[in-house]
Structure 1
Amino acid sequence: MKKVSLFGSALVALVALTACGGSGGSGGADENKLTAWAWNINIPVLEEAAEQFAEDNPGFELEIVEVGTPDVYQRITTGLQANGQGLPDIMLVEDDRVQGYLSNFQDAFLDISEYGFLDDHNDKFPDFKTELLTVDGGVYGFPFDAGPAGVFYRTDLFEEAGIDAEQIETWDDFIEAGQTLRDELDVAMTGIDIANDDGVYRMMLNQQGTFYFDENEEINLDSEESIKAMEVVQRLHQDGLNENLVGWDAWLTGLANGSVATAPTGAWLTGSLTEQAPDLAGNWGVFPLPAMEADGNRASNLGGSNYMISANTEQPELAYDFMEYFATTDDVQLTAMENGLFPSLNTIYDDPIFTEPVAYFGDQAIWEMFAGMMDDIPAVNYTGNYSIARDETETAQSDAAGGADVTDVMTRAAEQLQNRMN
């Protein structure tokens, strides 16, 4: 199976935008061949699925063009602006990008409800994934992986400091435990990149059933829920419980060397931890995200992606059949899990792998914990203004971490966002 890299080649980029794949062409497409854009650990999953699909569809070929983020979104946007010219048949799109594309280019994507996807498979996926892809009754993509959130933590450091993770039920409890960790071991509780990553804040919004925007696409940055979430980040930083680790590599290093004891994040961190810190096997555990108040919701999501089909594809039925197979076949989704992704397909949650103890995490059945959260994760209204909203919240997070009044900074962030949207 052929893989083509688009990195660093203007010539290949030009070809990709004018004649890549089976869509936007002028005929002569191979009737049994599709092209897909994807990246990283998604590629071996696609390859395995294509091989399995070909067993019942002799001659089927999937050409995978490896394009990483953010390049892939620049190329997708360019193709959409050119009425679909140059787009592949199939493209991987992360959750936070979907609504932006659908709000501006809805007709550029294949409505898979016309092929019966909702009727046949809607109950196999959590609502927060299917709602993301649904517009005016149409469905414009196949749910793939998700990022159910939890708190990854160093069990050895917690034990040394006398902290019982099972007693951490709220963010107040989390902060109290962080103070103990600071005082006893001089270790930070979190490693939030204050100026560049508002992921912890976003998870707290999500668990409260809201986001940057409410269900009516109204700006929500100055809401009670938003202020509560940002106050938690401020307290973590102002109390000396957060080490400001700038960038992905610094964050993983801090987790690996023990300068930071926890990582509130999505389930996808498991693969990075086991690869980056294999010597810490048995010293990591996971507990559910703390609630905002006693008995509050502890389910949230960070990350995830979907596959979308170009409406310009010359092989719509073949593209649908393959992606339906990909998205709803247990073996394929278990392959995804083996590659470090957490599938949205709930029919696999009864597989023995979900109850098996994971040695790296002290024989904890972490997959069962994550699967149990999926139906409780609220849907998110990203809207087409997600990127500028995130930009404003990260600025606000920096100000709040510096000691500014949270209500003031979030009110200002809401005003700034409104100005940028006008």
Structure 2
Amino acid sequence: MHTPAKKKCLVAAMAAVAALSSWTAAADTTVRLVRVEISQVEKAYYEKIARQYEEQNPGVVIEFEYIANEAYKTRLPTLLQSDQRPEIFYSWGGETLRDQVEAGFVMDLTAAMQDGWQDLYPESAVRAFTLDDHIYGAPLYATVVGFWANTALTEQAGVDVDEIETWDDLKDAVVALREHGITPAVVGGMDGWPMHFYWGYLATRLAGGDGIEAAKAGDNDGFTGDVFVRAGELLQEFVELEPFQSGFMATSYERASGMFGDGEAAFHLMGDWDYMPSKQRSMSGEGVPDENLEFLRFPAIEGGGGNAHSFGGLNGWAVTRQAPQEAVDFLRYLLNEENQREAARLGVFVPVAKGAEEELATPYARKVAKILSDSAFHQVFLDQALGTSVGATVNDISGDLAQGVISPEEAAAQVEEAWQFR
């Protein structure tokens, strides 16, 4: 039988235990990251890092969520405005990031990165996430857009991919492949951004990074200038050769990726990230055998101001403004040198961390690293670099040009108008 004093002690002890349990539950912090859909290999890489961090930091839960590329672009603005916003989100930098910063969604990481974190990356990578001298994101990897080539098909048509150096060389290859009954290239025109790779890269080759920056400033007639009109002309001349699969404007990126993996076309203009996804999306799950696979630099255009430039992404992560400190701490852990070197060893992407390229295992990844190393300027995807609204216009005009429903002059004028009213 308990005395009143003992009862009081027991009640107090039980209350203390309950309070401790309540505090422990409340102490659990969930850090949720959202990013575009990736390969299973890369997902496993992130999963391993998340579990390692949780083991080292009891009470912190790391969750990754993946959204298909095109859906990600449309859903992210809604997520950021909701009470379901993630703590960390995937970012391409550029004007889109500026829009998010100005809307008050993004945490300033300038101070956090001064303690040696920023030193891990080359200056160009940090610059992609720097706005008005403040850092709003941490770089993960650089991507390069180029032509994936199936040499088993090109060789049937007598095409030597090593000799494709100019735009005319590429056009000649398309003609030769068609003559041999081989679909020259596959493209996911339905999603917009894969077709923008053609117009965007042509504009970069003709104008160069400096010319694109000048257009943003309104110089040389802005985006209605001759080089941007010419980009549309070159794209339409290319489409007249019938380079793409039947129904290319009704084909998604994911489907096009799998089609290339199935050997249904000789070329696929796509980012270097498509190496593993293309294999996994193929019917066999194995894709184009490595011995038949090449990654080609986008060809040069005679007299182009950007022939020495590359085109792709400097991709990374941004932290939402009211995220807990654990989110910043995990992001730094995720992007540390050892984890970036492991990504290189696995071949999931080409990291930007200094020295990580030493671990690259595949010839494709090493080719991408060389393209980046040789590049005098890396132009970020125009549908990202120019901001959300202008980027949507760039994607739309690229598809419209390919279908011949607008003229190159009209396309350039639409981009300029979108830029002026962004």
SS at match of 1:252: helix
Match for residue 336 of structure 2 among 313, 328, 331: 328
C-alpha separation between the residues in 2 aligned to 1:268 and 1:173? 25
Any conservation in 2 of the 1:327–1:333 contact (CA below 8 Å)?
Answer: no
C-alpha separation between the residues in 2 aligned to 1:73 and 1:396? 18
Match for residue 263 of structure 1 among 258, 262, 268: 268
Residue in structure 2 matched with residue 46 of structure 1 by the alignment: 46
How much identity, in percent, do the aligned residues show?
Answer: 17
Instruction: Within 5 Å, give how 1:289-368 maps onto structure 2.
Output: 289-293=298-302, 297=307, 299-303=309-313, 305-313=315-323, 315-316=324-325, 318-335=326-343, 338=346, 340-351=348-359, 354=360, 356=361, 358=362, 365-368=363-366
Change in CA separation of 1:71 and 1:254 when aligned onto 2, cut-off 3 Å: closer
In structure 1, what residue type is equivalent to 2:402? Answer: A
Deviations 1:374-409 (A, max 9, x none): 242424476786343344334433443355785422
Moved more, 87-96 or 164-173: 87-96
In structure 2, what residue type is equivalent to 1:369? Answer: K
Residue in structure 2 matched with residue 138 of structure 1 by the alignment: 134
Change in CA separation of 1:130 and 1:174 when aligned onto 2, cut-off 3 Å: same
C-alpha separation between the residues in 2 aligned to 1:210 and 1:256? 32
SS at match of 2:139: strand
Residue in structure 2 matched with residue 239 of structure 1 by the alignment: 241
SS at match of 2:146: strand
Change in CA separation of 1:90 and 1:175 when aligned onto 2, cut-off 3 Å: same
In structure 2, what residue type is equivalent to 1:147? Answer: T
Shift of 1:164: 1.5
C-alpha separation between the residues in 2 aligned to 1:372 and 1:337? 17
Which protein has the larger Cα radius of gyration, Structure 1 or Structure 2? 2
Change in CA separation of 1:138 and 1:394 when aligned onto 2, cut-off 3 Å: closer
Match for residue 196 of structure 2 among 195, 198, 215: 198
In structure 1, what residue type is equivalent to 2:113? Answer: G
Q: Say if 2:161 is the partner of 1:156.
A: no
Change in CA separation of 1:146 and 1:31 when aligned onto 2, cut-off 3 Å: farther
More helix by share: 2
Residue in structure 1 matched with residue 393 of structure 2 by the alignment: 392
C-alpha separation between the residues in 2 aligned to 1:126 and 1:162? 43
Deviations 1:273-304 (A, max 9, x none): 22225263122212222122379635534356
- 5+ residue gaps, structure 1, are 1-26, 359-364
Residue in structure 2 matched with residue 175 of structure 1 by the alignment: 171
SS at match of 1:45: helix
Shift of 1:152: 0.7
Compute the RMSD of aligned alpha carbons.
3.6
In structure 2, what residue type is equivalent to 1:366? Answer: Y
Any conservation in 2 of the 1:149–1:264 contact (CA below 8 Å)?
Answer: yes
Moved more, 370-379 or 143-152: 370-379
SS at match of 2:256: helix
In structure 2, what residue type is equivalent to 1:121? Answer: Q
Change in CA separation of 1:44 and 1:242 when aligned onto 2, cut-off 3 Å: same
SS at match of 1:343: coil
Deviations 1:323-374 (A, max 9, x none): 11211323355247737333232321012xx2x4x4xxxxxx1111111222
> Would you say how many aligned residue pairs link Structure 1 and Structure 2?
377
Residue in structure 1 matched with residue 293 of structure 2 by the alignment: 284
Residue in structure 2 matched with residue 8 of structure 1 by the alignment: none
Any conservation in 1 of the 2:107–2:320 contact (CA below 8 Å)?
Answer: yes
Any conservation in 2 of the 1:212–1:221 contact (CA below 8 Å)?
Answer: no
Change in CA separation of 1:418 and 1:309 when aligned onto 2, cut-off 3 Å: closer
Shift of 1:68: 1.8
Residue in structure 2 matched with residue 99 of structure 1 by the alignment: 97
Which TM-score applies when normalising by structure 1? 0.75
Change in CA separation of 1:272 and 1:96 when aligned onto 2, cut-off 3 Å: farther
Residue in structure 2 matched with residue 225 of structure 1 by the alignment: 227
